[in-house]
Chain A
Amino acid sequence: MAVQKLPLAKALNESLRKALETDPKVLIMGLDVGKLGGVFRITDGLQKDFGEDRVIDTPLAESGIVGTAIGLALRGYRPVVEIQFDGFVFPAYDQIVSQLAKMRARSLGTVKMPIVIRIPYGGGIGAVEHHSESPEALFAHVPGLKVVTPANSNDAYWMLQQAIQSDDPVIFFEPKRRYWDKSDVDTDAIPGELHKARVAREGTDLTLAAYGPMVKTCLEVAEAAAGEGKSIEVVDVRSISPLDFDTLQASVEKTRRLVVVHEAPVFFGSGAEIAARITERCFYHLEAPVLRVGGYHAPYPPARLEEEYLPGLDRVLDAVDRSLAY
């Protein structure tokens, strides 16, 4: 049974199970990851099957979780840390930025930090404050960290395997509003490279670059635009750091137009980096400036306003039209 249709959350659960089975040094740490199986059930059943020594309910202190994961990594373990929600990672930010990210360089390459920090991120689930944020740029900006985010179940399964196998710290952002979306997972496939982008839909008139929760939105945009005779290519960026500019460049050289979409605020967001690099690489191919659609420079709004804040079909289509109008 190599190919199964699984919700993204279940694919992550299967991936963690596989990692625990494959490597006795893999540990899972976090709040409520044990008996409860995590608030999103990503670790459901794992403590029951692998024991409390490997699936560890920690004290309620994010800095403590990441700090002790660093110590465990120094001792030869491969901790997979769960941060319960995006907005709760910041007590651990000091450990991540000042310690985790720099350890390899400070040790002159003698120390490895094979730590994965899983963070459910993004909005769209009607949650209260601190439960809907997209802080990926705050991590991508830090040398020493790798930042990835899957958009479908197969990538969830494989990218998490690859992140756990990596000897570098990986911030693994999980698109929480897509946890329940089902798609095929091929557990026997030979996965592609972790840090490579993927053309999710081919097109000729314009490229939409997105990752995580916005890939689905962009595919819907492409479908809607096709009805109006516009052929849109969708690139699932997958890895934010490092970022696969070659795949983006090839796409933009074909379509000559690029719109970047993410939930995070546009200002100093990852779209800014993509726009700058693609402009450098594709200056003579571009028919329009690279446009960005994302969150506003305002705190994530209360749930009843989030549909206005988040990039949806209409706002992305609007940007597509603006780009095509150049």
Chain B
Amino acid sequence: MTVESTAARKTTRRSSGAKRTTSAASAKKAPAAQGAEPELVQLLTPEGERVQHPDYDIDLSAEELRGLYRDMVLSRRFDAEATALQRQGELGLWASLLGQEAAQIGSGRALRDDDYVFPTYREHAVAWCRGVDPTNLLGMFRGVNNGGWDPSTNNFHLYTIVLGSQTLHATGYAMGVAKDGADSAVIAYFGDGASSQGDVNESFVFSAVYNAPVVFFCQNNQWAISEPIEKQTRVPLYQRARGFGFPGVRVDGNDVLACLAVTRSALERARRGEGPTLIEAYTYRMAAHTTSDDPTRYRRDAEREEWEAKDPIQRLKTYMENEGHADAAFFEELETESEALGKHVREVVRAMPVPEHMAIFDNVYADGHALVDEERAQFAAYQASFEGGEAE
């Protein structure tokens, strides 16, 4: 490397205002383009204080509050168990939802049974709300299937790994709902990273044009693996909706009450035939992207600690305790239930059978295919050739 090139690098890296640069790298820390802090819908502060919002109010009984709390605690317990199972080699990979419980439980509990959910691969707590057996989610992470449940059982679509694809599926499904004259709604989950994908932007176009009854629920957890939100957008994500012709709202994604209220409102709007809404749940990915990731390489511990203080579970607990909505017995029982869930998940995962080898050829086509039949027969004969003999 020459001295000149080193010097040139230093100049460009500083990229002062005097030098005109066009690269992505020169983008200053966004989203600040709007000036004022964007409004964040919040009904429960990080300190556990109940606050009012003119557009989104919610009145929940103590029992309902305890229900939301229970959902979040059990989801976190399930998630922790899955992380542990990955560390023990029982799962190949795990994508933790840690920190996003309120966004997922709040939105998930806003849904009716006849509503339809299109998740990414991290919506474990939404799956919980839909009644999907949590151990069903682990098959693909253990490597015994690539999905493994019937989406129509709980109106919960298969996990989608390729980012953003499912937002178009959700839009199409919602177009179908509208054609059928039904009053159910559809919710599409995605993240801040996926918001850059063409598919997501195309789903905004289609849903607006066809006035589809779909709610786009974006969990902005601030990080797409190592890339901070500034690499995806110069405006707060919810503001993008306006340009596509439908409303957007930013909600405190760590406030389960606000997430519930805002999602309910958007779903009702969809049911009334008023079209899509974009919800940006402002939250934080407390864990690594997946168990394969090492966030110490790219983000500060201090940032995580700041978000730790906004923990979604703790704030609801403080509120319930202060208001006398839950007693010690409730928390103790939940602790017991939590441990039982962990044990159940462990046992089921460890006992999960490796599928028959021939399963490779199953369900490739609905109407069959001569080549698949031929290969299946060849494979069976090949495998049989080892029986009794020594396999290398």
The answer on a CB contact under 8 Å between B360 and A32 is no
Contact of A59 among B139, B226, B231, B372 (CB under 8 A): B231
Could you list 14 A-B pairs, sorted by A, with CB under 8 Å?
A21-B5, A34-B226, A36-B297, A50-B9, A51-B9, A52-B13, A59-B196, A60-B193, A60-B196, A63-B198, A126-B92, A267-B371, A297-B369, A301-B359
- Residues of B in contact with A (beta carbons under 8 Å apart): 1, 5, 8-9, 12-13, 15, 21, 23-26, 92-93, 139-147, 161-163, 193-199, 224-227, 231-232, 292-293, 297-298, 354-355, 357, 359-361, 364, 369, 371-372, 375, 379, 382, 385-386, 391-392
Q: How far is the CA of A31 from the CA of B26 in the complex (A)?
A: 17
The answer on a CB contact under 8 Å between A305 and B21 is no
Q: How far is the CA of A56 from the CA of B13 in the complex (A)?
A: 12
Among listed A187-195, A203-211, A308-316, interface-contacting one: A308-316
Q: How far is the CA of A21 from the CA of B26 in the complex (A)?
A: 21
Most buried by B among A59, A64, A267: A59
The answer on a CB contact under 8 Å between B227 and A53 is no
Chain B, Cβ-Cβ closest to A27: B23
Chain B, Cβ-Cβ closest to A303: B143
Q: Given the complex, which residues of A lie within 8 Å of B375, measured CB to CB?
A: 296-298
Q: Given the complex, which residues of B lie within 8 Å of A305, measured CB to CB?
A: 354-355, 357, 359-360
Q: Given the complex, which residues of B lie within 8 Å of A226, measured CB to CB?
A: none
Q: How far is the CA of A21 from the CA of B297 in the complex (A)?
A: 24
Q: Does A106 contact B (CB under 8 A)?
A: no
Q: How far is the CA of A87 from the CA of B160 in the complex (A)?
A: 12
Q: Given the complex, which residues of A lie within 8 Å of B144, measured CB to CB?
A: 302, 304
Interface residues of A in 84-99 (CB under 8 A from B): 87-88, 90-91
- Residues of A in contact with B (beta carbons under 8 Å apart): 21, 24, 31-32, 34-37, 39, 49-54, 56-61, 63-64, 87-88, 90-91, 126-130, 224, 267, 296-299, 301-305, 308-309, 313-315, 317-318
Contact of B232 among A60, A87, A126, A318 (CB under 8 A): A60
The answer on a CB contact under 8 Å between A53 and B15 is yes
Contact of A127 among B8, B93, B194, B231 (CB under 8 A): B93
Q: Given the complex, which residues of B lie within 8 Å of A49, measured CB to CB?
A: 9
- Minimal beta-carbon separation of A218 from chain B (angstroms): 15
The answer on a CB contact under 8 Å between B360 and A296 is yes
The answer on a CB contact under 8 Å between A304 and B142 is yes
The answer on a CB contact under 8 Å between B143 and A60 is no
Contact of B23 among A21, A53, A128, A308 (CB under 8 A): A53
Q: Given the complex, which residues of A lie within 8 Å of B195, measured CB to CB?
A: 60
Q: Given the complex, which residues of A lie within 8 Å of B360, measured CB to CB?
A: 296, 298, 301, 305, 308-309
The answer on a CB contact under 8 Å between A304 and B196 is no
Q: Given the complex, which residues of B lie within 8 Å of A308, measured CB to CB?
A: 357, 360, 379
- Minimal beta-carbon separation of B21 from chain A (angstroms): 7
The answer on a CB contact under 8 Å between A35 and B364 is no
The answer on a CB contact under 8 Å between A87 and B162 is yes
- Minimal beta-carbon separation of B16 from chain A (angstroms): 13
- Minimal beta-carbon separation of B68 from chain A (angstroms): 30
Given A128-B143, A299-B364, list of 19 further CB < 8 A pairs? A32-B226, A35-B226, A36-B226, A37-B297, A39-B293, A50-B9, A51-B12, A52-B25, A52-B26, A53-B21, A57-B24, A60-B163, A60-B231, A91-B198, A126-B143, A297-B372, A301-B146, A302-B146, A308-B360
- Minimal beta-carbon separation of A272 from chain B (angstroms): 13
Q: Given the complex, which residues of A lie within 8 Å of B9, measured CB to CB?
A: 49-51, 54
Chain B, Cβ-Cβ closest to A35: B298
Chain A, Cβ-Cβ closest to B356: A305
Chain A, Cβ-Cβ closest to B354: A304
Q: A298 with B372: in contact, given A126-B92, A127-B92, A128-B93 (CB under 8 Å)?
A: yes
The answer on a CB contact under 8 Å between B143 and A31 is no
- Minimal beta-carbon separation of B392 from chain A (angstroms): 5
The answer on a CB contact under 8 Å between A56 and B392 is no
Per CB-CB distance, the 6 closest pairs between chain A and chain B, nearest first, are A303-B143, A52-B25, A36-B226, A59-B196, A60-B193, A51-B13
- Minimal beta-carbon separation of B191 from chain A (angstroms): 9
Q: How far is the CA of A309 from the CA of B146 in the complex (A)?
A: 15
Contact of B198 among A52, A64, A88 (CB under 8 A): A64
- Minimal beta-carbon separation of A141 from chain B (angstroms): 18
The answer on a CB contact under 8 Å between B227 and A32 is yes
Q: How far is the CA of A129 from the CA of B145 in the complex (A)?
A: 9
Q: Given the complex, which residues of B lie within 8 Å of A224, measured CB to CB?
A: 392
Chain B, Cβ-Cβ closest to A18: B1
The answer on a CB contact under 8 Å between A39 and B92 is no
Q: A91 with B197: in contact, given A57-B24, A304-B142 (CB under 8 Å)?
A: yes
Chain A, Cβ-Cβ closest to B148: A302
Q: How far is the CA of A296 from the CA of B371 in the complex (A)?
A: 9
Contact of A91 among B143, B199, B225, B355 (CB under 8 A): B199
Q: A302 with B140: in contact, given A60-B163, A129-B146, A296-B375 (CB under 8 Å)?
A: yes
Chain B, Cβ-Cβ closest to A130: B161
Chain A, Cβ-Cβ closest to B225: A32
Q: Given the complex, which residues of B lie within 8 Å of A317, measured CB to CB?
A: 392
Q: A296 with B226: in contact, given A130-B162, A302-B143 (CB under 8 Å)?
A: no
Q: Given the complex, which residues of B lie within 8 Å of A130, measured CB to CB?
A: 161-162
Q: How far is the CA of A318 from the CA of B225 in the complex (A)?
A: 43
The answer on a CB contact under 8 Å between B196 and A61 is yes
